Amino acid sequence: MNKIFTALLLAAIAIPAAHADTPAETRSQAFKKMLLQSFEPMGMAVRERAPYDKAKFEQQAEAMKTLAAEPFKHFPANSISGKSRAKPEIWSQPAKFQADRDVFLKSVDNLATIAKAGDLAAIKKAYGQVAQNCKTCHDAFRGPEK
């Protein structure tokens, strides 16, 4: 069952990514990859909906650390398209966007470091900080679904 789920997830990521040719589509796929491959599986353990496995969690945290900066590379000037949820504030407030991105990336690095120690209480706190930093950026720079 787990292998089927993994195969379906990979297909769901790979098929749209093969057609991602605009910055909006490319960054959307990069965010989805990060979410599905690392953030959400860690969240299942943090919310106690899946068993906590230190080695697996540490691997997922490192994967997220590797993937975390990728979506941000795909916000060139005037790259808003009809399907983009990106708000114009990304480009009109670049310093704030950069600062929010940096805070997010630092919290992801912190989570990866804390995951190595295996202290679940500290991990839950660090994971919550990553989630809050996602929300802060989304609230400021991501609009409603179109």
Strands (E), the chain: none
pLDDT tens-digit readout, 12-71: 444 444 445 777 788 778 788 877 888 999 999 999 999 999 999 999 999 999 989 888
Given the structure tokens 């990060």, which residue do they identify? 34
pLDDT at 41: 92
Give the range with max mean pLDDT: 20-29, 68-77, 136-145. Answer: 136-145
Q: What is the mean pLDDT of the chain?
A: 84
Q: Quick one: average pLDDT of 108-133?
A: 97
The string of DSSP codes covering 22-37 is SHHHHHHHHHHHHIII
Top pLDDT among 73 and 118 is at 118
Asked whether the predicted pLDDT for residue 139 surpasses 70, the reply is yes
Percent of the chain with pLDDT over 90: 56
